[in-house]
Structure 1
Amino acid sequence: ITEEWKRFQPEFFSDNKYINRGISGQTTPQMLIRFRPDVIDLKPTAVVILAGINDIAENTGPSTVKMIAGNIISMAELAESNGIKVIISSILPASGFSWSPIHDPPPKILAINTIIKNYAEKNGMTYLDYYSSMVDDQEGLKKEYGLDEVHPNKKGYEVMSILVEKAIAETLSLDHNKK
């Protein structure tokens, strides 16, 4: 999801001096492995973690809700323990995957979003809710925001840009280390 954002809105990252480390198709274990060189070693003030949809699609094999949420939480804990403010993003809505036999992602998406939202709130981190602004009445990505059932289009990334800017501003203005 994040890698394609640069294609639709390259100026969003360059103008704001944001670094986009998204790699298309990666799952949370792959992200966790590269979290130190791609995040911690860069010493950012804050990190936005958007992960999980490729795990649900089983890009690297079956994954449980507990495992996916656990990997996202591990990235958040690594960031926080290194003095990086954390913004945990909801998984975007998706009704299916053209590349995967998995045909009912909404229950897993909702379960993971609930776990990571509760974790973020309990631990004084920001929870960025893309899901609510982008979901249709069938628990999928709104057609006007998607290239397909999973990936945002330019309009979808415009919605995401507004939401992430607000979350970053709020995160940088608050002391999230107080629990």
Structure 2
Amino acid sequence: MRILLSLLFALTSCLVCATETGHAQWNSAMDAFEAADRANPPPQAAVLFIGSSSIEHWKSVAEDFPEVKTINRGFGGSELGDSTYFADRIVAPYHPRAIVMYAGDNDLQDGHRPEQVRDDFAAFVRKARSVDPGVPIAFIAIKPSMARKVLLPKIRQANDLVRSYAATQKEVAFLDVFTPMLGADGQPQPKWFVEDGLHMNRTGYELWIGIIKPWVDAHAR
């Protein structure tokens, strides 16, 4: 029995270490966010934009939503689970009035199933609301990028699953940027992207703004 308990403890410890190691690559980004907060304390009751590189690269968020206070805490290459794991550092301190999330792109690229994308978003919602019950949260649909055309069936499925989940939750929204980014042939269009075919140009962000702004305006005042 003692040997069995020792083995179970060792296995549990290994799983915890593996989880921590999987997120450790973002520690420097979290440290940088916290240093920025100390130097320039962010506003309370702002709209928090969080997620992967499509948020990180969105340097004009404050100018694009001038009627509301905003905080950008995107960190490129991250997955949904990373935002949940670090929520105590990049969500809880701000007590946001509303949260806009973009993630899932990298999750699918890294082999996660569409169902896991939905479940990981649901986990983020639970984590955020454990601190701020009822905080409105919007999920920006996973975009159809040129660089990841091969993932299009999985992107469609993940988006459909998240949309269905959001419909069952109070104040959780699915913002469909996926459909208008497709061409008449149902395929990704290069006009929204910079040269790498993955990250968006200003035209792409302007499309997003038109879709996101009504939701932000409705929940941030």
Same fold at TM > 0.5: yes
Is the partner of 1:5 in helix, strand or coil?
coil
The answer as to whether partners of 1:95 and 1:106 remain within 8 angstroms in 2 is: no
Match of residue 100 from structure 1 = none
User: When the two structures are superposed, what TM-score results if normalisation uses the length of structure 2?
Assistant: 0.66
Match of residue 155 from structure 1 = 203
The yes-or-no answer on 1:3 pairing with 2:52 is: no
The answer as to whether partners of 2:166 and 2:174 remain within 8 angstroms in 1 is: yes
The answer as to whether partners of 2:56 and 2:74 remain within 8 angstroms in 1 is: yes
The 2-side partners of 1:46 and 1:3 are apart by: 18
The gaps in structure 2 that reach 5 residues or longer are 1-53
- What is the aligned length? 164
Distance change >3 Å, CA 139–CA 168, structure 1 → 2:
same
Cα offset for 1:156? 0.6
Runs of 4+ in 1 over 6 A off after TM superposition: none
Match of residue 147 from structure 2 = 96
The yes-or-no answer on 1:134 pairing with 2:187 is: no
Cα offset for 1:14? 6.8
The 2-side partners of 1:44 and 1:137 are apart by: 38
Q: Which has the larger radius of gyration?
A: 2
Cα offset for 1:94? 2.2
Identity of aligned residues (%): 23
User: When the two structures are superposed, what TM-score results if normalisation uses the length of structure 1?
Assistant: 0.80
Is the partner of 1:88 in helix, strand or coil?
strand
1 or 2, which has the higher helix percentage?
A: 2
Match of residue 116 from structure 2 = 67
Higher-RCO chain (CA-CA 8 Å, sequence separation at least 6): 1
Please report the RMSD computed on the Cα atoms of aligned residues, expressed in angstroms. Answer: 2.2
The answer as to whether partners of 2:61 and 2:70 remain within 8 angstroms in 1 is: no
State the Cα deviation string for residues 67-100 of structure 1 (Å, max 9, x = none): 2221111112222342221112211112434xxx
The correspondence for 1:24, drawn from 68, 71, 76, is 76
